[in-house]
Amino acid sequence: MPRGPRQPRPPRVPAPRYSVAEWYGRDITALTDEERQTFGQIASRQMETGDLSETLPCPFLSNLIPGSRCNKKGGVCSIRKFAATGGGAGAVVPGDNPVTTCPLRFIQDVEDGKSIFVWVAEKMLDINDPIVVKETPFLRKVSDPQRPVEAAEDPAVAQDVEEEAEAEKKAGRIDWILVKPESMANTDDMEWCAVETQALYFSGKKMKHEFDAYAAAPGPVLYPIENRRPDYRSSGPKRLSPQLDVKVPVLGRWGKKVVIVIDRFFFDNMNRLEEAFARARDDRARRDNAEVVWFIVDYDEQMRLRAREVHYTTLDSSRKALNATEPLDKVAFTHQLKAVINNPQRANKVFRVSSQEAHE
């Protein structure tokens, strides 16, 4: 029986892609078409020249320092997934978690009238009026490393060097210190805790492609021009974990705790955190036995941060959770190894060798 005409395949629906969720502190979906164009022009020029003189106010840092302006090239506070809706337009993917890309984004009320710092201070210092100290030096350099010669010729090497320098800079200071005011009168010591705010890097195509598209003309929210994704491994195991290895042992010897503030997306990419002294009768007892305390925030439908969870853990538990991997058990590994050896299609990975004497 002759076959009928082949039915045309339905058009492929482009997969959702990540792009700007908040731009200079504003939800991109709440901007007018003209505002999106203006923001695109400002961001595009910043990426080309590095000049931040025409940057816009930062509503988050302004909660601490009124009138503060954005100090990040391009002004992207967070990213999220957008689906294609036709004609180059895009729409937010419902239920998808935004991803924080600027650490200053965390400086916001997480409950009505309660900032992230007050929430942390209530849990860690039993107060609601902390003194907040920004970017306190923690390490001092013994010597300055030499910049590799290749960095002058190879942009990839230069970028690696720049990223490593930024990681060292961050490890060499404490993002925020919260101090109990009444303890200032103590001549020998003060009550305080260290707070690290950890955003996520992203990998893939540069965001300037999106900036240029918005800058071209007033228009709606666009379906992202290029592919990119949040890079958990660069932000967690490669950046945050070494900082904890440096800071937690020293601060622990001083009798101080380290707090990490992250968003839901970051937390969901970690392994499970084992609680310190899980059978403790209350949070104070858990806090007393913890070395690292994780504060998890999330975005609501209005893109406001909300307080979600607190986890009291050890340094070892934090390392394992950040690594986000675990070894196979011996039986599973052995079965997998045998399957590779017995698979003729894996000849490019399996080799049989013997001594020359065996052939004679």
Backbone angles phi, psi at 265, to 5 degrees: -60, -45
Domain hosting 45: range is 14-102+199-226
- Asked if the structure places residue 272 within a domain, the reply is yes
With contact defined as beta carbons under 8 Å apart, do 196 and 174 qualify?
yes
Query: What confidence score (pLDDT) does residue 152 get?
Result: 59
Model confidence pLDDT, tens digit, residues 152-168 = 565 655 555 455 555 45
Query: What confidence score (pLDDT) does residue 107 get?
Result: 96
Res. 188 pLDDT band, cuts 50 70 90: confident
- Asked if the structure places residue 209 within a domain, the reply is yes
Residues 156 and 268 in one domain: yes
DSSP class of 332: H
With contact defined as beta carbons under 8 Å apart, do 77 and 105 qualify?
yes
Residues 242 and 147 in one domain: yes
3-state secondary structure 12-70: CCCCCEEEEEEECCEEHHHCCHHHHHHHHHHHHHHHHHCCCCCCCECCCHHHCCCCCEC
Its pTM stands at 0.82
Query: What confidence score (pLDDT) does residue 354 get?
Result: 72
Residue 106 clears pLDDT 70, i.e. is over it: yes
CA 153 to chain centre: 30
Residues 247 and 150 in one domain: yes
Give the C-alpha separation, 26 to 273, whole Å: 33
Model confidence pLDDT, tens digit, residues 31-70 = 999 999 999 999 999 999 999 999 999 999 999 999 999 9
Residues 163 and 243 in one domain: yes
Residue 356 clears pLDDT 90, i.e. is over it: no
Give the C-alpha separation, 24 to 36, whole Å: 11
- Asked if the structure places residue 1 within a domain, the reply is no
Give the C-alpha separation, 324 to 311, whole Å: 17
- Asked if the structure places residue 2 within a domain, the reply is no
Residues 261 and 163 in one domain: yes
Query: What confidence score (pLDDT) does residue 217 get?
Result: 96
Residues 286 and 326 in one domain: yes
Residues 251 and 205 in one domain: no
C-alpha pair distances (Å), 36 with each of 68, 115, 136, 291, 310: 21, 29, 36, 44, 36
- Asked if the structure places residue 171 within a domain, the reply is yes
Listed residues 226, 241, 268: the one ending a domain: 226
- Asked if the structure places residue 6 within a domain, the reply is no
Residues 271 and 301 in one domain: yes
Helices (H), the chain: 33-49, 116-124, 155-171, 208-216, 232-235, 241-253, 264-268, 283-289, 315-323, 330-341
Give the C-alpha separation, 217 to 231, whole Å: 30
- Asked if the structure places residue 326 within a domain, the reply is yes
Portion of the chain with pLDDT greater than 70, in percent: 85
Residues 194 and 64 in one domain: no
- Asked if the structure places residue 7 within a domain, the reply is no
Residues 242 and 295 in one domain: yes
Residues 171 and 313 in one domain: yes
Q: Which of 317, 267, 334 is nearest to 296 (CA)?
A: 267
Model confidence pLDDT, tens digit, residues 60-104 = 999 999 999 999 999 999 999 999 999 999 999 999 999 999 999
Residue 6 clears pLDDT 60, i.e. is over it: yes
The total number of structural domains in the chain stands at: 2
Residues 221 and 270 in one domain: no
Give the C-alpha separation, 64 to 76, whole Å: 20
Listed residues 190, 209, 226: the one ending a domain: 226
